[in-house]
Amino acid sequence: MTYTLELVDIESVRLHEEHVPETARRLAKKIQGDGIVHEAILVESKHHVLLDGHHRLEALRALGCRKVPAYVVDYDDPDIHLSTWPGAVPVSVTKADVVAKALSGTKYPPKTTRHRLREPLPKISVPLAELM
């Protein structure tokens, strides 16, 4: 799988799923305490649709970050697998559904979609100060 690690403008990222505010608050406290972001979000390259990392994004937004570390990928890559979490409604979604949802401005409930990669992406270490 081909990807690039970029510092993306936080306002350019398009969401397709809601987040759980309390989870984002806890994560923001942890990131602020560490002073470092250890895991990048995952976005598709054409529209910057957020594929994974809704809580990380919202935590960084709450901390006042203008940039977010992101692995940018070609969503058509067959190494990116999409499913839904157990108990999710809808039960099935396609990659086209995810992009359409993000472009429409409406969102699925939290933990609807599950993106898995054939191989895990590397951990990162980006100082919080670089994202402000």
Q: How many residues does the chain have?
A: 132
The total number of structural domains in the chain stands at 1
Residue 127 lies in a domain: no
Residue 25 lies in a domain: yes
Q: What is the C-alpha radius of gyration for the chain, rounded to an integer number of angstroms?
A: 14
What is the predicted pLDDT for the residue at 75? 97
What is the predicted pLDDT for the residue at 1? 86
What pLDDT digit, counting tens, does each position of 20-77 carry? 999 999 999 999 999 999 999 999 999 999 999 999 999 999 999 999 999 999 999 9
Q: Which residue stretches of the chain are H helix?
A: 21-34, 54-62, 95-104
Q: Tell me, what CATH number does 38's domain have?
A: 3.90.1530.10
Residue 9 lies in a domain: yes
Residue 93 lies in a domain: yes
Q: Report the DSSP beta bridge partners of residue 5.
A: 71
Residue 115 lies in a domain: yes
Q: Hey, which residues are catalytic here?
A: 17
What is the predicted pLDDT for the residue at 83? 96
Q: Report the DSSP beta bridge partners of residue 70.
A: 6, 41
Residue 103 lies in a domain: yes
Taking the C-alpha atoms of 87, 85, 62 and 15 in order, what is their torsion angle to the nearest 10 degrees? -110
What pLDDT digit, counting tens, does each position of 71-100 carry? 999 999 999 999 999 999 899 999 999 999
Residue 128 lies in a domain: no
